[in-house]
Amino acid sequence: MDSMLPPIVLEPETKADACVIWLHGLGADGHDFENIVPELQLPADHTIRFVFPTAGKMPVTVNLGSEMTAWYDIRSLDLLNDVDWEGVDNSVQFVHTLIESQISSGIESDRIILAGFSQGGMIILNAGLTFEEPLAGMMALSTYFPEPRGTGAFFLQPKSCPVFMAHGMNDPVCPFVAAEQSRQTLIGLGLQPQWHTYPMQHQVCLEEIKDMGSFIRHCLMIE
């Protein structure tokens, strides 16, 4: 993966004491979800820092080797079984570094939410579950979660960590059945993901954005 650009950072009006790290999907960049923040219906005086990193560019197999921003290679349409685990591991380590950076800045780990769309969602689930300090929550949007390698015993995140899963019922990119199977995989690991479905394709919608705002407020105990 090529070197990455500095993340886009949106600071609150007052000192931040919480953070949302939000990963984009294949071929997008850190600006992809930047404009959603005002639509989350957060209080005007919220203290949440939003961090939107951009993946480096790499050849993507399913796109005939074309280079584009990607958190890992998509080798085939068999998303749950043909996985570029080396690429996933590299991006997971990158997210862990982002989390550690926020902790070093003074934000407690249990005030940090990970969010990701499509590829980004797959990364944040793996990054969150393998992070040893408790997080505030994870938002997995229009994504999937392959069966863990081995027994999954390397997952260090408390099973009580809130997980928000959202998917379009007409998604042609990440099939709905793959998302449902992924939800069952997470349940099998002892998690209790909140499951939200919407009449949309591979995208986000206004109702979903509203639900995400509610999830963020709940996880960070914001009125």
pLDDT tens per residue, range 62-81: 999 999 999 999 999 999 99
Active site (annotated) includes residue 24? no
Rg (C-alpha) for the chain, rounded Å, is: 16
Selected catalytic residue, list 96, 196, 202, 218:
202
**In degrees rounded to 5, what are phi and psi of residue 85?**
-65, -30
Active site (annotated) includes residue 202? yes
Please give the Cα distance from 92 to 105 (Å, whole number): 20
Tokens of 17: 């004491």
Architecture of domain 8-219: 3-Layer(aba) Sandwich (3.40)
Q: What percent of the chain has pLDDT over 70?
A: 96
Q: Do you know the residue count of the chain?
A: 223
Q: What percent of the chain has pLDDT over 90?
A: 92
Provide the whole-model pTM. 0.95
Of 165, 125, 175, give the one whose Cα is nearest residue 147: 125
Selected catalytic residue, list 32, 84, 171, 211:
171
Selected catalytic residue, list 118, 142, 167, 182:
118
β-strand partners of 163 = 138
Active site (annotated) includes residue 211? no
Most confident of 2-6, 151-155, 197-201: 197-201
